[in-house]
């Protein structure tokens, strides 16, 4: 089995590699989304605290 055959996946490469790509996108989103949400919430809390103290 050569690398070319491996990447071709017996004619199913489009389906296999697109499913790997979509799974990778979901995993990255599951890591990045909570981080961005936490930053936004902390920024909003600091903004609200500064409004109350002013």
Q: Domain total for the chain?
A: 1
Residue with token string 């296999």: 16
What are the residues whose beta carbons fall under 8 Å from the beta carbon of 13, sequence distance 6 or more? Answer: 7
pLDDT tens-digit readout, 1-54: 898 888 888 899 999 999 999 999 999 999 999 999 999 999 999 999 999 887
Report pLDDT for 16: 94
Domain that holds residue 21: 3-53
8 A C-beta contact, residue 13 and residue 7: yes
- 29: which 2 tokens? 């989103």
Report pLDDT for 20: 96
């Amino acid at each position: 089995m050569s690398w070319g055959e491996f990447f071709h996946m017996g004619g199913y490469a489009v389906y296999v590699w697109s499913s790997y790509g979509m799974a990778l996108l979901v995993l990255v989103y599951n890591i990045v989304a909570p981080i961005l949400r936490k930053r936004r919430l902390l920024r909003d809390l600091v903004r609200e605290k500064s409004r109350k103290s002013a």
